[in-house]
Structure formats: structure tokens, C-alpha cells
Amino acid sequence: MPPAGWTIEQVLALAPRPTSIGVAMPLAVPARWSGLGCDHQAVWGRCTGTAREPYDTIVHHTEVAFRCSCPSRVTPCKHALALLIVWVNGRVPHADGPAAVRSWLASRPAVPESADTATGQPRPTEEPALTAVAPEPPVDRGTERDDRLARMAAGLTELDRWIEDRLRTGLADPALAEYATWDALAARLVDAQVGGLANRVRRLAGVVGAFPQWHEHLLAELGVLHLLAQAGSRTGALPPHLADSVATTVGWQVRQADVLAGVPHTEHWMVLGRSDTREDRIEVRRTWLRAPSDGRWAMSLSFAAYGQSLDASLSVGTSMHADLYRYPGVLGLRSAVAVRHAEPEPLDADIVAGWALTLAGACQQVGEALVAEPWLERFPCTVRAALVQAGAGRWALADHTGSLPLVGQVPGLALMLALSGGQPMVMTCEWTPLGMLPLAVHDTRFGTYDVGPRVDPTFAAEVA
């Protein structure tokens, strides 16, 4: 039954921590609940979690009070938030409350009349969990969260105003060729806690004048930044998964511990490609995995700075049986690999060859991803194509459906030419706005070859 007077924004506002909604979303589906019901006072249900017994959860939606049998001392817990999300989405049927719900409602103290008359809104109250745990000092969930949201909103407004000024003066403005122009803006965005956009701004400093079509690329990137600035200030009006994607892209951090509290995707994951890049003074490794059952992609991220080492446990060309947890978002690409149930095994190149797309098919797949998240900078695809020379030292991938340029200097070009002999081959690539980047060649005769860009081995010595 759809609720009266409640919106998804009100549920989000109840989150005691910035990451609470992210860990609640995997539970906010009717399939995770049994005994769902609601009436004019409360909504209730039993959530199947990692424990042996389901958690009994009740939310008093008129007085905004919570009760859950889980051991969490955070109020409201992720189960209460998930139950409210399911209810707000109209997925909870109207029913007569069971005895436990009626007993809890009857045992609640009367609410003073001033609770409603002072503000016109119900006054939130907190209810202890069913399990015996020591009380925790109350969390001031309003002040800290509201202060950060205010800073982020101010930063996004400033970014939009800056973009307007740049477009008004034109892309021929000499200031755009100065790194300080971009770095100053990025620093202000970091201060406003929208560091995700600060990284994108800093990367644009290297675009100006770097290649003949830099004006087009810069204008497109400014358009994406404008889109994120607008969406970031309106997350409350967006669907939950899209709001999560925008928030994390803008810079809202999601703790890995909260991600690991969700529901795992257990599969024989195939490690199909790896790409190393440097962002500011941090090395970033993106490892792309794919599930044989549904072909869905996942990305594992590793970071290294000041002499640290990138994660090398995910070896390209192997398959492993493991639990994978996805970060919140529309596509849910970023993931955390947790428990590994067996040692990695060699990848079956025939399976990968069966997934290979034409270049037109790859463009369609990338296009669908961009429709879901228009700010994507990289997306993987497995294609069957040949390497061809496009003139002036430039190379491209080509097949009977067309061609796509390769981006910049291709590290494994000589090896790929030797393996292919000029014939089409199966490879996993990263799509980027500037072209395709080959990551791995899957040869049914010789196995999988990792040809993706690697970190500079002197980096650790330079920054130490």
C-alpha cells in the first residue's frame, strides 16, 4: 500500500550516517522480506540477513520510532531504513498487525501534543533493539550531515558558475592553458568535499592543446561536469540507484565495511583485463571481471601511493570462485572481492570468445551504459577485431561493421601484432572518450595475454 505523506527524501533524511542508505538498498527489495504488512500506524516485516534467524523489524511511521531484533546500536538500523524504502515504494500490503506489533504499539508511551504542534511534523523517537546491548550515546546525525551537504551544495553551485564564466569568455581564453586555473578550482572543490569532481577537473588541465580536437573534448567534459553539478544538488529527487551513482561520482565516500555488509554475488568470476593509471600522485589499478552466468561486468579498484604496492592478487587470464559485493549505483560496476572459495584456475578462452562483440555491438553496449550513467569515463567490452594502421603512427580496431581508434600509445602493440598476424582476434578493451584501450588478448591457442598499461616501476622511488 502506498504511504500517505511520506516521500523517499524523508526516508533518506533519517539515515544516521552518509553510508547508511548504501547498505540498506540491497535489503530494500520485497524478496528479502517475509510477513510484510502495514496499517495506519506502523509497517513491519522479517528481513532475511546473514544471521541464522530473520530480523523482526517494526517502524512506527506516525511517531517515527523503530524497533529491530538485529544487534546494531545505530538508530535507525539498515533493516528499518530498507523496510521504509520498500513501504514508500508501495510494495507493502495493508494488513492487520500481528500480536507482537500490537503489543509494541500499545506499550509505547504517549506522545506529547506539542510534538506535532510545534513543527507540524512528527517528532522522531528512538527505540532500543530487542537484544540486550549497552546503550550508545545519541548520534547527532543532523548537524554533521547537514553541514557537509551544505558545503557540497555550495561547491556544486560554484562549479556551475565557473563553467558559465568559462563558456562566456570562450575556449580560446589563454587562462585555460594554465594549470593553475584548473588546480585552483579543484582545490576549492576538495574543500567543499566534492573530491570526485576535483579529480575530473585536474585531468582537464592536460587536455587543452594536447591534440587537434581538444576543443570538442573539453566542451563535452564541461557539459558532463555541469550535468553532475545539477544532479548532485538534486539527489533527493532522483531514483535511489541513480542518486547513489551521482553521490559517489561527486565525492560521497562509501565505506568498504558497509559494502561488505550487503548481499554477495557468488560466482566463478573471470578476470578479463587490467588497467593502471596515475591520478595526481596516486596509482590506480582497475581490474575487470565478468560473470559467466549473466555476463555482467564488475570492477575491482586498487590504490597505491608513497611506496605502496597495487593489489596483484587478481591475475588476468584466471577464473576464481569468490564472493563479490557491489557498491551502490545504477550499473554497480565498482565492487569489492571478499571470500575466495578456491584457488584461481586458467581462463577458458573459448568462453570468452563466445562473448566477443562486433565493434558496432560494442558501441551499442557502451551507449547503453552511458544512458544509465552519462559521466562514465571507462567501460569494458570484449570484441573480435583486427589491428589496422590509421596513418601518422595511429592505430585502430576494424571489422566489417566499422572501426574505432586506439587511444594514445598502446603498450602491447608489438605483442598484439605478433599474435594476430594481421587477422581478427578476441580482446578485452576499455572504452574511453578518446578511443579504445586494449587490455588483454584471448587466444584459444596460447591463452590470455595481459597487454594493459602498467604502473611506472620508478613511481615508488620517486614519491618515497
pLDDT-derived band at 123 (thresholds 50, 70, 90) equals: very low
Greater confidence (365 vs 283) lies with 365
Question: Does residue 112 carry a pLDDT above 60?
Answer: no
pLDDT-derived band at 21 (thresholds 50, 70, 90) equals: confident
Cα 71–6–63 angle (5° rounding)? Answer: 55
Sign of the Cα torsion 344, 348, 349, 352 reads negative
pLDDT-derived band at 307 (thresholds 50, 70, 90) equals: low
Predicted local confidence at residue 256, as pLDDT? 78
pLDDT-derived band at 268 (thresholds 50, 70, 90) equals: very high
The whole-angstrom separation of Cα 422 and Cα 385 is: 10
- Binning the chain into helix, strand and coil, the percentages to the nearest 5 are 35, 25, 40
Predicted local confidence at residue 3, as pLDDT? 56
Question: Does residue 135 carry a pLDDT above 80?
Answer: no
Q: Among 153-167, 174-188, 248-262, 307-321, which stretch is predicted with the lowest mean pLDDT?
A: 248-262
Grid look-up 562514465 returns 376
Q: Among 324-338, 374-388, 405-419, which stretch is predicted with the lowest mean pLDDT?
A: 405-419
CA distance from start to end of the chain: 60
pLDDT-derived band at 5 (thresholds 50, 70, 90) equals: low
pLDDT-derived band at 233 (thresholds 50, 70, 90) equals: confident
pLDDT-derived band at 321 (thresholds 50, 70, 90) equals: very high
Q: Among 70-74, 155-159, 266-270, 401-405, which stretch is predicted with the lowest mean pLDDT?
A: 70-74
* Domains of the chain by residue range: 8-137, 144-235, 263-311+319-341, 351-450
Greater confidence (377 vs 71) lies with 377
Greater confidence (262 vs 344) lies with 344
Predicted local confidence at residue 296, as pLDDT? 93
The interaxial angle of helices 143-169 and 179-191, nearest 10 deg, is 160
Question: Does residue 360 carry a pLDDT above 60?
Answer: yes
Average model confidence (pLDDT) across the chain = 84
User: 290: part of which helix (H) or strand (E)?
Assistant: strand 282-290
Render pLDDT for 402-438 as a digit per residue (tens, 0 to 9). Answer: 999 998 778 888 999 998 988 999 999 999 998 999 9
The whole-angstrom separation of Cα 46 and Cα 69 is: 10
Conformational region of residue 327, where left means phi above 0, alpha means psi within -120 to 50, and beta covers everything else? beta
The interaxial angle of helices 240-250 and 214-232, nearest 10 deg, is 120
In the numeric block, which cell numbers belong to residue 188? 576549492
Mean pLDDT of the region 270-275? 96
Sign of the Cα torsion 99, 102, 106, 107 reads positive
380 bridge partner residues: 430
Mean pLDDT of the region 225-245? 90
The whole-angstrom separation of Cα 33 and Cα 27 is: 8
Half-sphere exposure of 201 (CA within 13 A, CB side): 30
Residue percentage of the chain with pLDDT more than 70: 87
Predicted local confidence at residue 143, as pLDDT? 53
Question: Does residue 115 carry a pLDDT above 50?
Answer: no
Q: What distances in angstroms separate CA 334 from CA 39, 103, 141, 376, 379, one per listed residue?
A: 38, 44, 27, 12, 11
Mean pLDDT of the region 159-188? 91
Predicted local confidence at residue 127, as pLDDT? 39
Q: What distances in angstroms separate CA 57 from CA 6, 17, 102, 141, one per listed residue?
A: 19, 19, 13, 21
* pTM of full prediction above 0.75: no
Mean pLDDT of the region 428-453? 93
Predicted local confidence at residue 134, as pLDDT? 34
pLDDT-derived band at 138 (thresholds 50, 70, 90) equals: very low
Predicted local confidence at residue 314, as pLDDT? 94
Predicted local confidence at residue 146, as pLDDT? 60
pLDDT-derived band at 50 (thresholds 50, 70, 90) equals: low
Helices (H) and strands (E) in the chain, counts: 15, 16
- 246: nearest Cα among 170, 370, 329: 329
Q: Is the peptide bond before 3 cis (omega within 30 degrees of 0)?
A: no
Question: Does residue 379 carry a pLDDT above 70?
Answer: yes
In the numeric block, which cell numbers belong to residue 441? 588478448
